Amino acid sequence: MICEVIRRFSEFKLLEEYRYIGFGSYYFADFSLFHKNLNISLMHSIEQDGKNRDRFETNQPFKCIEIHFGASNHILPKIGWTEETIIWLDYDGVLDKSVLEDIQTVCTHAKFGSVLIITVNAEAGEVPDKNSSRLQNLKNRVGETKVPNRVKEKDLSQWGTAKVLRDIIHNEIEEILVSRNGGICDNSEKMSYRQLFNFNYSDNAKMLTVGGVIYQRNQKAQVDKCAFERIPFVKSDNQPYLIEVPCLTYRELRTLDKLLPADPNCVPSLKGVPEKDIKIYSEVYRYFPNFAEAEL
């Protein structure tokens, strides 16, 4: 789904001229996806676990990936920012001051036309003792002033935490760009941010992926020409797109594929299959992973 959006950045420049920065881990799944589907070959992977350097290098899928070992807080300021960049800060952990520091680095240095994506754990977390609260824990992690005054303890229930985290990240991006623009005299060259991603999904835990494009104001016509608003899962506000996984068999998936695409107001039906699962699949079938059944 992210690739679907990034393809439209060809309005800015050839996609193969972009570079990609991510956290590859042992699987480098995002690197393989962007290299094969977007033809991006200038790639940097930041790996904090330097003790397993050999394993990362063994699993490196393409020689065009340069691996940097160390904390992202230390690597990002040194990596150079002369090219348009697609950067996915894909954290397993929660939003904290370290994550905000990375966001500050990117927003301070990223060249216009760059894409910033952030993924963080969106679980509310347990209350450690009766003298604390989930809200206070959040304030301790990111800083008191980073949490909007309107946020109350009750706002952190269910997917509420993801919405609060999205607002904190969005405010941080806007704040850094305001500071960056302070040194730019020409109004047309000042930087703006447009959110494109606001995904909520569960991957053993509630997760938030949020991000968008950083561009110069004189590029607004190019941004408009990308027609991001025509993509149904693009979200420009704090209302998320919830990614759900339908419970369907391989045979049901193949049968539904023959009936899609369909009118959104007329969802296909299969005997015995819940309508909810069919509706979920019909919205994301183009991006759904391909699986094959095998008998051993």
pLDDT of residue 257: 95
Q: Where does the chain have alpha helices with state H?
A: 2-6, 29-38, 53-59, 72-75, 97-109, 134-142, 160-181, 220-225, 250-257, 275-284
What are the φ and ψ backbone dihedral angles of 215, each rounded to 5 degrees? -145, 160
Sheet of strand 191-202: strand arrangement? 65-69, 42-47, 19-22, 85-94, 114-121, 206-216, 191-202, 241-242
Instruction: Split the chain (296 residues) into runs of 10 and give each run's mean pLDDT.
Output: 96 95 96 96 96 95 97 96 97 97 98 97 82 91 97 95 98 98 96 98 94 97 95 96 94 95 90 95 90 69
pLDDT value, residue 83: 95
How is residue 238 annotated by DSSP? S
- DSSP three-state, residue 90: strand
The overall longest dimension of the chain from CA atoms, in Å, is: 68
Q: What is the pLDDT of residue 127?
A: 74
Please, which residues have CB within 8 angstroms of residue 48's CB and are 6 or more apart in sequence? 69, 70, 71, 72
Burial (CB < 10 A; 0-12, 13-18, 19+), residue 240, is buried
The domain locations on the chain are 2-242, 250-287
- Radius of gyration (Cα) for the chain, nearest Å? 21
Q: Which residues of 108-122 are buried (b: 16+ CB within 10 A; e: fewer)?
A: ebbebbbbbbbbbbb
Mapped onto helix, strand or coil, the DSSP state of residue 170 is helix
Class of the domain covering 2-242: alpha beta
Cα 15 to Cα 84: distance, rounded to the nearest angstrom: 10
Q: In this predicted structure, what is the pLDDT of residue 290? A: 77
